[in-house]
């Protein structure tokens, strides 16, 4: 049964996105929050001074840094793996098309 032209790319994209989501959950969530939190603390230190006493503003800046770090890690893992899956699907489609063209040429030469 033949797959439609964009079907292989779409399936590979979904598989890549799923793998990226799993990888993000396993190895990207905690480091993203940690690095984002450290960055937020550095920014709070620069804005409020090194000796900030854990004020509400400093905590909000650190929390925003953590959220941004997690979102950046999610984008990198999910969209990155989705793009890799899509590229793999494109390569598979071109190989399948090339194989079908070769079969077509062999049929024509065999009939002639």
DSSP string, 7-58: HHHHHHHHHHHHHHHHHIIIIIHHHHHHHHHHHHHHHHHHHH-TT----HHH
State which residues form the domain around 40: 7-111
The tally of domains found in the chain comes to 1
Asked if residue 1 is part of any domain, the answer here is: no
- In the prediction, which pLDDT does 48 show? 84
Q: Which two tokens stand for residue 110?
A: 């065999």
Dist CA 23 CA 26 (whole Å): 5
pLDDT value, residue 18: 95
Residue 3 has pLDDT above 60, yes or no: no
What is the per-residue pLDDT across 54-105, written as a single tens digit (0 to 9) for each? 788 888 999 999 999 999 999 999 999 999 999 999 999 888 888 888 888 8
């Amino acid at each position: 049964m033949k797959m439609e032209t964009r079907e292989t790319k779409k399936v590979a994209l979904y598989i890549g996105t799923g793998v990226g989501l799993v990888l993000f959950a396993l190895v990207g969530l905690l480091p993203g929050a940690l690095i984002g939190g450290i960055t937020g603390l550095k920014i709070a230190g620069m804005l409020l001074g090194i000796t900030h006493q854990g004020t509400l503003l400093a905590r909000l800046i650190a929390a925003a840094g953590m959220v941004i770090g997690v979102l950046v890690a999610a984008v990198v893992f999910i969209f990155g793996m989705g793009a890799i899956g899509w590229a793999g699907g494109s390569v598979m489609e071109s190989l399948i098309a090339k194989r079908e063209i070769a079969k077509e040429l062999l049929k024509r030469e065999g009939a002639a």
